[in-house]
A and B are shown apart, each in its own frame.
Chain A
Amino acid sequence: MRFVRDNGLALFFLFIFLCSAIAESVVGHSVFNEQQLMHGDEAISYGRYLLSSDFGEAMLENWQSEWLQMLLFALATIWLVQRGSAESKKPGDEGLQSNEDQQVGRHARAKAPRWARVRGWRRAAYENSFLIVMAVIFLGSWLAQSATAWTKFNDEQVQHGQAAVSWLTYLGEVDFWETTMQNWQSEFLALGTMCVLTVYLRQRGSPESKPVGAPHDETGSSV
Protein backbone atom coordinates (compact mmCIF):
# COMPACT_ATOMS: atom_id res chain seq x y z
CA MET A 1 0.00 0.00 0.00
CA ARG A 2 2.87 2.32 0.72
CA PHE A 3 4.08 1.90 -2.87
CA VAL A 4 0.68 2.95 -4.17
CA ARG A 5 0.52 5.98 -1.87
CA ASP A 6 4.07 7.07 -2.72
CA ASN A 7 3.44 6.71 -6.46
CA GLY A 8 -0.18 7.81 -6.60
CA LEU A 9 0.29 10.51 -9.23
CA ALA A 10 2.16 8.29 -11.69
CA LEU A 11 -0.19 5.34 -11.13
CA PHE A 12 -3.30 7.50 -11.53
CA PHE A 13 -2.11 9.02 -14.79
CA LEU A 14 -0.97 5.63 -16.11
CA PHE A 15 -4.39 4.20 -15.26
CA ILE A 16 -6.35 7.05 -16.83
CA PHE A 17 -4.06 6.94 -19.88
CA LEU A 18 -4.82 3.25 -20.40
CA CYS A 19 -8.56 3.84 -19.90
CA SER A 20 -8.54 6.67 -22.46
CA ALA A 21 -6.36 4.79 -24.95
CA ILE A 22 -8.67 1.76 -24.80
CA ALA A 23 -11.72 4.00 -25.28
CA GLU A 24 -10.03 5.81 -28.18
CA SER A 25 -9.14 2.52 -29.87
CA VAL A 26 -12.68 1.13 -29.47
CA VAL A 27 -14.47 4.19 -30.86
CA GLY A 28 -11.74 4.63 -33.50
CA HIS A 29 -12.24 1.02 -34.59
CA SER A 30 -15.97 1.63 -34.85
CA VAL A 31 -15.55 4.81 -36.94
CA PHE A 32 -12.93 3.15 -39.15
CA ASN A 33 -15.19 0.17 -39.91
CA GLU A 34 -18.16 2.44 -40.63
CA GLN A 35 -16.06 4.24 -43.23
CA GLN A 36 -14.78 0.94 -44.63
CA LEU A 37 -18.37 -0.27 -45.16
CA MET A 38 -19.41 3.06 -46.65
CA HIS A 39 -16.62 2.70 -49.22
CA GLY A 40 -17.65 -0.90 -49.95
CA ASP A 41 -14.57 -2.35 -48.20
CA GLU A 42 -14.45 -5.07 -45.56
CA ALA A 43 -14.51 -4.33 -41.85
CA ILE A 44 -11.31 -5.20 -39.98
CA SER A 45 -10.78 -6.82 -36.58
CA TYR A 46 -9.99 -4.82 -33.44
CA GLY A 47 -6.51 -6.35 -33.31
CA ARG A 48 -5.83 -5.36 -36.92
CA TYR A 49 -7.07 -1.82 -36.20
CA LEU A 50 -4.61 -1.47 -33.32
CA LEU A 51 -1.79 -2.08 -35.81
CA SER A 52 -3.25 0.22 -38.47
CA SER A 53 -1.80 3.54 -39.55
CA ASP A 54 -5.19 5.13 -38.84
CA PHE A 55 -4.94 4.35 -35.12
CA GLY A 56 -1.21 5.05 -35.04
CA GLU A 57 -1.59 8.49 -36.54
CA ALA A 58 -4.52 9.43 -34.29
CA MET A 59 -2.48 8.57 -31.23
CA LEU A 60 0.96 9.78 -32.26
CA GLU A 61 -0.08 13.20 -33.56
CA ASN A 62 -1.22 13.99 -30.02
CA TRP A 63 1.76 12.36 -28.34
CA GLN A 64 4.40 14.34 -30.19
CA SER A 65 2.84 17.68 -29.28
CA GLU A 66 2.63 16.73 -25.59
CA TRP A 67 6.33 15.93 -25.41
CA LEU A 68 7.14 19.12 -27.30
CA GLN A 69 5.01 21.07 -24.85
CA MET A 70 6.90 19.75 -21.82
CA LEU A 71 10.26 20.17 -23.52
CA LEU A 72 9.50 23.74 -24.53
CA PHE A 73 8.15 24.66 -21.13
CA ALA A 74 11.27 23.30 -19.40
CA LEU A 75 13.47 25.29 -21.80
CA ALA A 76 11.49 28.53 -21.87
CA THR A 77 11.29 28.73 -18.07
CA ILE A 78 15.09 28.72 -17.89
CA TRP A 79 15.39 32.03 -19.70
CA LEU A 80 11.96 33.65 -19.47
CA VAL A 81 9.94 34.58 -16.39
CA GLN A 82 6.34 35.51 -15.71
CA ARG A 83 6.04 37.83 -12.73
CA GLY A 84 3.49 36.48 -10.27
CA SER A 85 3.21 33.04 -11.86
CA ALA A 86 3.50 29.87 -9.81
CA GLU A 87 5.16 28.26 -12.85
CA SER A 88 8.01 30.74 -13.12
CA LYS A 89 11.32 31.52 -11.48
CA LYS A 90 11.59 34.91 -9.83
CA PRO A 91 12.55 37.84 -12.10
CA GLY A 92 16.34 38.14 -11.98
CA ASP A 93 16.87 34.37 -11.71
CA GLU A 94 16.86 33.82 -15.49
CA GLY A 95 19.55 31.56 -16.92
CA LEU A 96 21.25 28.28 -16.07
CA GLN A 97 22.14 29.52 -12.55
CA SER A 98 25.32 28.88 -10.59
CA ASN A 99 26.65 25.49 -9.52
CA GLU A 100 25.80 26.44 -5.96
CA ASP A 101 22.18 27.18 -6.88
CA GLN A 102 21.96 23.90 -8.79
CA GLN A 103 23.77 21.91 -6.08
CA VAL A 104 26.26 20.31 -8.44
CA GLY A 105 29.98 19.53 -8.24
CA ARG A 106 31.41 20.47 -4.85
CA HIS A 107 28.04 21.97 -3.90
CA ALA A 108 26.28 18.64 -4.27
CA ARG A 109 24.61 17.27 -1.17
CA ALA A 110 25.39 13.85 0.31
CA LYS A 111 22.42 12.13 -1.34
CA ALA A 112 22.84 13.92 -4.70
CA PRO A 113 22.77 11.71 -7.84
CA ARG A 114 26.29 10.51 -8.69
CA TRP A 115 26.42 12.32 -12.05
CA ALA A 116 25.56 15.61 -10.29
CA ARG A 117 28.79 15.33 -8.32
CA VAL A 118 31.17 14.59 -11.19
CA ARG A 119 32.52 16.95 -13.84
CA GLY A 120 32.70 16.75 -17.64
CA TRP A 121 30.29 15.20 -20.15
CA ARG A 122 28.47 13.06 -17.59
CA ARG A 123 27.38 16.08 -15.59
CA ALA A 124 26.53 18.03 -18.76
CA ALA A 125 24.39 15.11 -19.92
CA TYR A 126 22.71 14.78 -16.54
CA GLU A 127 22.07 18.52 -16.35
CA ASN A 128 20.11 18.16 -19.60
CA SER A 129 18.72 14.67 -19.07
CA PHE A 130 15.08 15.82 -18.98
CA LEU A 131 15.50 17.81 -22.18
CA ILE A 132 17.39 14.99 -23.92
CA VAL A 133 14.77 12.34 -23.10
CA MET A 134 11.85 14.64 -23.97
CA ALA A 135 13.50 15.59 -27.27
CA VAL A 136 14.17 11.95 -28.19
CA ILE A 137 10.57 10.95 -27.41
CA PHE A 138 9.19 14.02 -29.22
CA LEU A 139 11.29 13.48 -32.34
CA GLY A 140 10.53 9.74 -32.27
CA SER A 141 6.78 10.36 -31.94
CA TRP A 142 6.86 13.01 -34.66
CA LEU A 143 8.76 10.66 -36.95
CA ALA A 144 6.33 7.84 -36.23
CA GLN A 145 3.39 10.20 -36.79
CA SER A 146 4.81 11.14 -40.17
CA ALA A 147 5.20 7.46 -41.12
CA THR A 148 1.67 6.45 -40.07
CA ALA A 149 0.10 9.58 -41.58
CA TRP A 150 2.06 8.97 -44.81
CA THR A 151 0.65 5.43 -45.08
CA LYS A 152 -2.88 6.70 -44.43
CA PHE A 153 -2.38 9.55 -46.92
CA ASN A 154 -1.25 7.11 -49.62
CA ASP A 155 -4.21 4.81 -48.93
CA GLU A 156 -6.54 7.74 -49.58
CA GLN A 157 -4.55 8.76 -52.67
CA VAL A 158 -4.95 5.26 -54.12
CA GLN A 159 -8.66 5.15 -53.21
CA HIS A 160 -9.15 8.39 -55.13
CA GLY A 161 -7.18 7.13 -58.11
CA GLN A 162 -4.17 9.34 -57.46
CA ALA A 163 -0.50 8.42 -57.30
CA ALA A 164 1.13 7.47 -54.00
CA VAL A 165 3.91 9.79 -52.80
CA SER A 166 7.25 9.09 -51.13
CA TRP A 167 7.73 9.72 -47.40
CA LEU A 168 9.99 12.68 -48.11
CA THR A 169 7.41 14.18 -50.46
CA TYR A 170 4.74 13.65 -47.80
CA LEU A 171 6.79 15.70 -45.30
CA GLY A 172 6.15 18.70 -47.55
CA GLU A 173 2.41 18.04 -47.84
CA VAL A 174 -0.07 20.36 -46.13
CA ASP A 175 -1.78 17.26 -44.66
CA PHE A 176 1.24 16.53 -42.41
CA TRP A 177 1.74 20.13 -41.33
CA GLU A 178 -1.97 20.72 -40.72
CA THR A 179 -2.16 17.87 -38.20
CA THR A 180 1.14 18.94 -36.64
CA MET A 181 0.16 22.61 -36.22
CA GLN A 182 -3.35 21.66 -35.10
CA ASN A 183 -1.77 19.95 -32.10
CA TRP A 184 1.06 22.41 -31.45
CA GLN A 185 -1.13 25.51 -31.28
CA SER A 186 -3.38 24.03 -28.60
CA GLU A 187 -0.40 23.04 -26.46
CA PHE A 188 1.19 26.46 -26.68
CA LEU A 189 -2.10 28.17 -25.84
CA ALA A 190 -2.58 25.90 -22.81
CA LEU A 191 0.94 26.64 -21.53
CA GLY A 192 0.59 30.39 -21.95
CA THR A 193 -2.82 30.35 -20.31
CA MET A 194 -1.49 28.39 -17.34
CA CYS A 195 1.40 30.84 -16.87
CA VAL A 196 -0.98 33.80 -16.72
CA LEU A 197 -3.86 32.21 -14.80
CA THR A 198 -1.59 31.06 -11.96
CA VAL A 199 -0.79 34.74 -11.35
CA TYR A 200 -4.39 35.55 -10.39
CA LEU A 201 -6.13 32.25 -9.63
CA ARG A 202 -5.46 29.73 -6.87
CA GLN A 203 -6.09 26.07 -6.21
CA ARG A 204 -5.89 25.33 -2.53
CA GLY A 205 -3.51 22.45 -1.77
CA SER A 206 -2.05 22.14 -5.26
CA PRO A 207 1.70 22.59 -5.87
CA GLU A 208 0.71 24.00 -9.26
CA SER A 209 -0.70 27.03 -7.45
CA LYS A 210 0.60 29.66 -5.11
CA PRO A 211 -0.84 29.55 -1.58
CA VAL A 212 -4.35 31.02 -1.66
CA GLY A 213 -3.28 34.08 0.31
CA ALA A 214 -0.13 34.78 -1.71
CA PRO A 215 -0.08 38.22 -3.39
CA HIS A 216 -0.56 38.35 -7.16
CA ASP A 217 2.94 39.73 -7.71
CA GLU A 218 4.66 36.96 -5.73
CA THR A 219 6.45 34.75 -8.23
CA GLY A 220 7.18 31.05 -8.17
CA SER A 221 5.92 30.24 -4.72
CA SER A 222 3.97 27.04 -4.36
CA VAL A 223 2.60 24.97 -1.47
Chain B
Amino acid sequence: MTLSAVIAFTLYGVIVALTALGGIVGPAIILVPAAGLAVLWVIMLVSHARS
Protein backbone atom coordinates (compact mmCIF):
# COMPACT_ATOMS: atom_id res chain seq x y z
CA MET B 1 0.00 0.00 0.00
CA THR B 2 1.37 3.41 -0.95
CA LEU B 3 1.98 6.18 1.58
CA SER B 4 -0.65 8.24 -0.22
CA ALA B 5 -3.29 5.55 0.35
CA VAL B 6 -2.19 5.10 3.98
CA ILE B 7 -2.79 8.83 4.63
CA ALA B 8 -6.31 8.67 3.17
CA PHE B 9 -7.24 5.45 4.99
CA THR B 10 -5.82 6.69 8.30
CA LEU B 11 -7.50 10.11 8.24
CA TYR B 12 -10.86 8.63 7.37
CA GLY B 13 -10.28 5.85 9.88
CA VAL B 14 -9.85 8.48 12.62
CA ILE B 15 -13.25 9.97 11.77
CA VAL B 16 -14.91 6.54 11.75
CA ALA B 17 -13.22 5.64 15.05
CA LEU B 18 -14.24 8.91 16.76
CA THR B 19 -17.85 8.38 15.68
CA ALA B 20 -17.78 4.79 16.91
CA LEU B 21 -16.29 6.01 20.19
CA GLY B 22 -19.32 8.29 20.52
CA GLY B 23 -21.52 5.20 20.26
CA ILE B 24 -19.48 3.43 22.92
CA VAL B 25 -19.25 6.20 25.53
CA GLY B 26 -22.50 7.94 24.53
CA PRO B 27 -25.82 6.88 23.03
CA ALA B 28 -25.40 3.43 21.46
CA ILE B 29 -27.47 4.46 18.41
CA ILE B 30 -24.45 6.46 17.22
CA LEU B 31 -22.91 3.09 16.35
CA VAL B 32 -25.36 2.99 13.42
CA PRO B 33 -23.93 6.03 11.56
CA ALA B 34 -20.46 4.88 12.64
CA ALA B 35 -21.15 1.55 10.92
CA GLY B 36 -22.41 3.47 7.89
CA LEU B 37 -19.19 5.45 7.70
CA ALA B 38 -17.21 2.25 8.20
CA VAL B 39 -18.84 0.75 5.10
CA LEU B 40 -16.98 3.25 2.92
CA TRP B 41 -13.76 2.51 4.78
CA VAL B 42 -14.14 -1.21 4.04
CA ILE B 43 -14.99 -0.47 0.38
CA MET B 44 -11.86 1.69 0.16
CA LEU B 45 -9.70 -1.07 1.61
CA VAL B 46 -11.17 -3.88 -0.50
CA SER B 47 -11.07 -1.85 -3.71
CA HIS B 48 -7.50 -0.79 -3.06
CA ALA B 49 -6.44 -4.35 -2.31
CA ARG B 50 -8.01 -5.54 -5.59
CA SER B 51 -6.32 -2.85 -7.64
Binding site for B on A (CB under 8 A): 68, 71-72, 75-76, 78-80, 94-96, 120-121, 123-125, 127-128, 131-132, 135, 138-139, 171-174, 176-177, 180-181, 184
Q: How far is the CB of A27 from chain B (nearest CB, A)?
A: 30
Q: Is B44 in contact with A176, judged by CB distance below 8 angstroms?
A: no
Interface residues of chain B: helix, strand, loop or mixed (majority):
helix
Known contacts A171-B22, A171-B25, A181-B33: A75-B7 contact under CB 8 Å: no
Query: Considering only CB atoms, which chain A residue lies closest to B2 in the complex?
Result: A124
* CB pair A76 B7 closer than 8 Å: no
Q: Which residue of A lies closest to B26 (CB)?
A: A172
Most A CB contacts (10 A, CB to CB) among B6, B7, B43, B51 go to: B7
Are A96 and B25 interface neighbours, CB within 8 A? no
For the A-B complex with A79-B47, A184-B33 known, give 16 more contacts whose Cβ atoms are closer than 8 Å. Answer: A72-B40, A76-B40, A79-B48, A96-B48, A123-B4, A124-B3, A127-B4, A131-B8, A131-B12, A132-B7, A135-B11, A139-B14, A171-B25, A174-B26, A177-B27, A177-B30
Determine the chain B residues whose CB is within 8 A of the CB of A71 once the complex forms: 15
Q: Which residues of B contact A128 (CB under 8 A)?
A: 4, 7-8, 11
Please tell me if the beta carbons of B7 and A124 are within 8 angstroms of each other in the complex. Answer: yes
Binding site for A on B (CB under 8 A): 2-8, 11-12, 14-15, 18, 22, 25-27, 30, 33, 40, 43-44, 47-48, 51
- How many Å lie between the Cα of A181 and that of B36 in the bound state? 13
State whether A173 touches B26 (Cβ < 8 A): yes
Q: Does the CB pair B22–A177 fall under 8 Å?
A: yes
Chain A nearest Cβ from B32, distance in angstroms: 10
Q: Does A131 lie within 8 Å of B11, measured CB to CB?
A: yes
Which B residues are in CB contact (< 8 Å) with A131? 7-8, 11-12
A168, closest chain B residue (CB): B25
A171-B22, A176-B26, A177-B27 are contacts. A124–B40 as well, Cβ < 8 Å?
A: no
Q: Is the CB of A132 within 8 A of B44?
A: no
